[in-house]
């Protein structure tokens, strides 16, 4: 048996971030979670840092270390998404306030120290929110960039357009300058855009199967997703809202669920109309360097089977 893959989850929970963290908790044979780093995004940093610890405690994982990171984007004012996630970012179930402490080290320094102390090419970065923390780490310590095994992110959209503006997906829109740093860094990137996540609808039937697990974490997750969906169901008129962030962890567990293409991606940072857009050269019409594997297709039933199977192990 191969050793579990070492990962850091960088996140702004967020109900769908919570689902991604739970998917990692349910997969200890494949994934060794070195730490969770939090960033401002869906809600401000104090709340994302609180929410990450709530998820750990809900799943009886007080051993996981949670590090707070950047409280604002690299060069802009923070934009949040309470209209989607609710006031706390985890609206839906009644959840206890966390008692486990935050680590005293800053998330950016934890990322740097971990990449320097672990063997080169063994740590995978999983980003579920704006890319601020990782961009700051890359700028502060460029020596860590070639040590990253892979950076798997939820972010961007191309054929599907955007979800916060017609052109931009939320995570990239919040901190386009950070995204520009990452896509220009040379780190191997796997990108899970809206093109994939909009195929992953948490339908009533899928939520019923999740609820049937019967455990406290599964029950809370169903209540979170029911809350999270109400906005998207109204927006897209579909049976269930898209589930974004667990795609990152699902890719590490079962890459064969996804199909995409290695191509060039550039980030728009200047245009007022399209700021935060991920400009994907899907058809290779430029000679720009291919810097990311952009996923476009997903086996939705396989994805939900995996999610439900792993949630049942928590």
Query: Which two structure tokens, joined as six digits, stand for 127?
Result: 């980003």
Nearer to Ca ion, 14 or 26 (CB): 14
Q: Which stretch binds ligand BDR (CB under 6 A): 11-19, 180-188, 213-221, 293-301?
A: 11-19
What is the DSSP pairing of strand 258-263 with strand 292-298?
antiparallel
**Under the criterion CB under 6 A, does residue 27 sit at the interface with ligand BDR?**
no
Q: Which stretch binds ligand BDR (CB under 6 A): 137-145, 168-176, 181-189, 289-297?
A: 168-176
**Under the criterion CB under 6 A, does residue 42 sit at the interface with ligand BDR?**
yes
Residue of the chain from 7, 14, 125, 248 that contacts Ca ion (CB under 5 A): 14
Query: Which two structure tokens, joined as six digits, stand for 34?
Result: 């070195």
Residue of the chain from 67, 110, 170, 183 that contacts ligand BDR (CB under 6 A): 170
Residue of the chain from 10, 17, 91, 232 that contacts Ca ion (CB under 5 A): 17
Residue of the chain from 124, 163, 247, 293 that contacts ligand BDR (CB under 6 A): 163
Could you tell me the strand order of the sheet in which 189-192 lies? Answer: 66-68, 31-38, 5-11, 123-127, 148-154, 189-192, 292-298, 258-263
84 binding partner (options Ca ion, ligand BDR, none; Cβ < 5 to 8 Å by kind): ligand BDR
In sign, the C-alpha dihedral spanning 29, 30, 36, 41 is negative
Q: Report DSSP letters for 96-132, one per residue.
A: PPP-SPPPSS-HHHHHHHHHHHSPTT-EEEEE-S-SH
Residue of the chain from 7, 10, 17, 108 that contacts ligand BDR (CB under 6 A): 17
Q: Which phi and psi angles does 262 have, rounded to 5°?
A: -85, 120
Least distance CB 235 / ligand BDR (angstroms): 12
For Ca ion, the binding residues in 201-260 under the rule CB under 5 A are: 245
Contact 66, 47 (CB under 8 A): no
Which of the following is catalytic: 85, 244, 262, 284?
244
Least distance CB 166 / ligand BDR (angstroms): 14
Residue of the chain from 129, 176, 193, 260 that contacts ligand BDR (CB under 6 A): 129
Secondary structure letter of residue 188 according to DSSP: -
**Under the criterion CB under 6 A, does residue 154 sit at the interface with ligand BDR?**
yes
Kindly provide the b/e burial profile for residues 145-181, where b requires at least 16 CB atoms within 10 angstroms of the residue's own CB. bebbbbbbbbbbbbebebbbbebbbbbbbbbbebbbb
Contact 42, 80 (CB under 8 A): yes
Residue for token pair 């019967």: 214
262 carries an active-site annotation? no
Least distance CB 41 / ligand BDR (angstroms): 7
**Under the criterion CB under 5 A, does residue 128 sit at the interface with Ca ion?**
yes
Residue 21's nearest CA partner among 57, 46, 45, 47 is 57
Least distance CB 129 / ligand BDR (angstroms): 6
**Under the criterion CB under 6 A, does residue 128 sit at the interface with ligand BDR?**
yes
Q: Which positions lie near ligand BDR, rule CB under 6 A?
A: 14, 16-17, 42, 81, 84, 128-129, 154, 163, 169-171, 244-245
Q: Which positions lie near Ca ion, rule CB under 5 A?
A: 12, 14, 17, 128-129, 245
Residues with catalytic function = 244
């Amino acid at each position: 048996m191969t050793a579990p893959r070492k990962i850091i989850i960088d996140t702004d929970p967020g109900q769908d971030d919570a689902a991604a963290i739970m998917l990692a908790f349910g997969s200890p044979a494949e994934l060794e979670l070195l730490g969770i780093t939090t960033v401002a995004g869906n809600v401000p940093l104090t709340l994302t840092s609180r929410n990450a610890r709530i998820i750990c405690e809900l799943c009886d994982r007080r051993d996981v270390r949670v590090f707070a990171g950047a409280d604002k984007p690299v060069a802009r004012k923070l934009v949040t998404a309470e209209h989607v996630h609710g006031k706390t970012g985890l609206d839906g179930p009644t959840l206890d306030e966390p008692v486990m402490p935050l680590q005293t080290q800053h998330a950016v320094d934890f990322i740097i120290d971990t990449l320097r102390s672990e063997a080169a090419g063994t740590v995978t970065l999983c980003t579920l929110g704006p890319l601020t923390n990782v961009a700051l780490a890359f700028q502060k310590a460029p020596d860590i960039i070639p040590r990253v095994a892979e950076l798997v992110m939820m972010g961007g959209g191309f054929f599907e357009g955007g979800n916060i503006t017609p052109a931009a997906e939320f995570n990239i829109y919040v901190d386009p300058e950070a995204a520009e740093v990452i896509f220009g860094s040379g780190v191997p990137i796997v990108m899970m855009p809206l093109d994939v996540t909009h195929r992953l609808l948490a339908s009533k039937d899928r939520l019923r199967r999740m609820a049937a697990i019967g455990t406290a974490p599964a029950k809370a997750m169903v209540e979170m997703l029911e809350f999270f969906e109400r906005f998207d169901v109204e927006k897209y008129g579909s049976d269930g809202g898209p589930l974004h962030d667990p795609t990152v962890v699902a890719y590490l567990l079962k890459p064969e669920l996804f199909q995409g293409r290695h191509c060039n991606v550039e980030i728009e940072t200047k245009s007022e109309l399209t700021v935060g857009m991920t400009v994907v050269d899907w058809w290779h019409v430029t000679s720009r360097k291919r810097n990311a594997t952009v996923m476009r297709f997903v086996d939705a039933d396989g994805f939900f089977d995996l999610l439900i199977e792993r949630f049942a192990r928590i």
